[in-house]
Chain A
Amino acid sequence: MGKLWNLRIVFLRLQYSVFPIPKFPSFFLGLLPIHMRVDLMDFIDWSGVECLNQSTSHSLPNALKQGYREDDGLNLESDADEQLLMYIPFMQVIKLHSIVVKGPEEEGPKTVKLYSNKEHMGFGNVNDYPPSDTAVLSPDNLKGKPVVLKYVKFQNVRSLTIFIEDNQSGSDITKVQKIALFGTT
């Protein structure tokens, strides 16, 4: 009986593979060239997004949400000092390929550490874990050039923690104009 069921399932699968329903992102993405990977913004679980040390009047959505992030006048700013810690959960498991961080030349972020699947991180324990990847942003990066990450380290990402350690000029306030994540689902 069990064998029969298995056969049935295999048969069903075959049927579906013969008449594939084209689910755009998952189906075609592997075929697409790297620079056309999907913007992962659509998969962010907004209710869980959190940012520590953000200024009340300049919060994370200014840098992360569609429409706001395209506006260079709308910034994410740090409050007490130059560091920022963002926690971005996703609605499904994703693979992260590259990241775009835009910011002003002076106050833009410099050292950015990325952690995958680390819940409940605070400034107190950022140094307890090794980052999945560290990026030092160049002026080119701040103008919108994507930073390609260690793809293998971000294969099974349910949540991403971005820690901005310092900024270009060493000033007290860090400003971020845009954060965009690219990868596949």
Chain B
Amino acid sequence: MTTGEQQVNESEMGTAQEVEANTAWLSFTEEGNKAIRCEWLHLQPIEKSVAGVRTCCRLIVSPSTGAAPIRNRLQTDLAGEDAETKGDSCCCVLLAAPVCLAALSAQRLACRCSWHGSSPLRGYKRVSCRQVIFASAHPPPRPGPPGRHIPPSMVLEATIIIVDNSEHSRNGDYVPSRFEAQIDAVNLIFSAKTQANPESSVGLMSMGGAQPEVLTTLTTDHGKVIDGLHRTKIKGRSNFSVALNVAGLALKHRQNKSQHQRIIVFTCSPIAENEKDFVKLAKRMKKNTIAVDIVAFGDLDSDTTKKVGAFHDAIKGSADGSHLAIIQPGPNLLSDSIVATDILAGDGAHYGNQDSSGGGGDHGGSGGGGGGFDFGIDPQADPELALALRMSMEEEEKRRQREEEAKAKAESKTSLEAVAEDGEGSSAAADGAASKDDNNKDKKDGPGAGDSMDTS
């Protein structure tokens, strides 16, 4: 254990410089004897602490640390009682290399975890968390030779993305236009797939124009994919089944046979094929062990939805599961809506996926990004944090609901019993409420306020 601890500290110290660009360090101060306050600090690109997410912090596990020491560390800390930090609630985003994530998610860490911060900021204490949410980090420095430590849960995939470049994709009912939205989503999917496993490759096809065309063969080079997207002209009608067959052929001749085959189709135009042929095509794909994800958006009349649904029903249950996402027009970005679906979730080990636009995102633009996102940060600038916050919020809501129900039940009993139970049960509830209040207050007051966080 001690060696494990040393290893963690050492690697954090040692690699601090090199991973700095990809990480944010956690800093928190002690207030009084009990209250622990966290805020999180961006060292990149500028030193910055974000207000309103005070109860959030990031945990950094550098890729060179290896999974075992972290696991041990978290385990012991989970078991260890820490009187000081009891009762404060915070959610924690764990930034870890995919390698570490698999090992950690196997542990099903759910409640509390503690972490000793070490350099570069002195005076770190530990932070306790109600919740650990796993999110994947920026492309981590690759640990050793590629593919060495990759556990089987990291799916190795060859993915062909088919974009719809028919005339229907000129429509502006998605922001900024249907085709631009697809480009954004393709970038997102590319990053997600190559981050889940560095050996996963992605190819690109278009299905509009004179005939479906392979724009980029399977590659791990982001530049080639962007280049392929740039060469695409919006033209003609889409040809769904031909495109799918060509993609299947391209996948069949992939270099690395251990890659699972997957096609992700974007479609925003009416589908010309009749349902019977469509189902037949799905069966053929299934027989060739190709998973097909469909992102249907745009002209979502009942006929299209029905065909797409039939296709999905026929292919369901094939390798790694095929997904269907029907995305209605709206103010949200197409890529944001895709993040919320199962298409990128993979086996569920990594929830958040780095938006490729995240690096260039404007940190100053706060709050206004996504519709109905009210945590005081820009979800565009930091999608995985946004996702973590959203999830944490939902869980908190559920917990409060449960507690309220329990409370109502207790009140309906005799008053004496109710008092006794209420006293116990409400501490957590009050805690939750307090943290929420704090959250709201913080939004108004900025980072300096909200010292009275710990109410237990």
- Please list the residues of chain A having a beta carbon within 8 angstroms of any beta carbon in chain B: 47-54, 56, 79-81, 83, 87, 120, 122-123
Contact = CB atoms under 8 A, between A and B. Distances in A.
Interface in B248-266: 252-253, 256-258
Nearest to B319: A56
Given A48-B257, A56-B319, A56-B320, A120 B252 contact: yes
Given A120-B252, A122-B252, A79 B287 contact: yes
A82 to B, nearest CB: 11
Contact of B288 (A48, A52, A56): A52
Contacts of A56: 317-321
B318 A52 contact: no
A79 B253 CA distance: 22
B443 interface: no
A25 to B, nearest CB: 26
Contacts of B288: 52-53, 122-123
B252 A51 contact: no
Nearest to A78: B287
B257 A80 contact: no
Interface in B315-343: 317-321
B289 A79 contact: yes
Interface residues of B, number: 15
A47 B252 contact: no
A54 B256 CA distance: 18
B193 interface: no
B289 A49 contact: no
Nearest to B248: A122
B320 A80 contact: no
Contacts of A123: 287-288
B449 to A, nearest CB: 52
Contacts of B256: 47
A80 B252 contact: no
B286 interface: yes
Given A53-B288, A53-B289, A56-B318, 14 more contacts: A47-B256, A47-B258, A49-B257, A52-B289, A53-B287, A54-B319, A79-B286, A80-B283, A80-B286, A80-B287, A81-B287, A83-B287, A122-B288, A123-B287
User: Which of B258, B289, B321 gathers the greatest number of chain A CB atoms within 10 Å?
Assistant: B289
Contacts of B253: 120
Contacts of A79: 286-287, 289, 317-318
Closest 5 CB pairs of A and B: A80-B287, A80-B286, A56-B319, A53-B287, A48-B257
Interface of B: 252-253, 256-258, 283, 286-289, 317-321
B434 to A, nearest CB: 46
Contacts of A80: 283, 286-287, 318
Contacts, number: 41
A79 B320 CA distance: 13
A81 B289 CA distance: 12
A61 B328 CA distance: 42
Contacts of A51: 289
18 contacts: A47-B258, A49-B257, A49-B258, A50-B257, A51-B289, A52-B288, A53-B286, A53-B287, A53-B289, A56-B321, A79-B318, A80-B283, A80-B287, A80-B318, A87-B257, A122-B252, A122-B288, A123-B287
Contacts of B257: 47-50, 87
B199 to A, nearest CB: 11
Nearest to A56: B319
A80 B318 CA distance: 8
A122 B252 CA distance: 8
A79 B289 CA distance: 9
Contacts of A120: 252-253
B315 to A, nearest CB: 9
Contacts of A48: 257-258
Given A47-B258, A79-B317, A79-B318, A54 B289 contact: yes
B151 to A, nearest CB: 16
B289 to A, nearest CB: 5
A173 to B, nearest CB: 12
Contacts of B252: 120, 122
Contacts of B317: 56, 79
Contacts of A87: 257
A141 B256 CA distance: 34
A68 to B, nearest CB: 14
A62 to B, nearest CB: 14
A145 to B, nearest CB: 30
Contacts of A81: 287
B90 to A, nearest CB: 38
A47 B253 CA distance: 15
A56 B315 CA distance: 13
B121 to A, nearest CB: 45
Contacts of A54: 289, 319
A56 B257 CA distance: 16
A29 to B, nearest CB: 29
Nearest to A54: B289
Contacts of A83: 287
A87 B321 CA distance: 22
Nearest to B249: A122
A60 B258 CA distance: 12
Contacts of B258: 47-49
A19 B208 CA distance: 69
A48 B255 CA distance: 9
Contacts of A52: 287-289
A40 B295 CA distance: 44
B420 to A, nearest CB: 50
Contacts of A50: 257
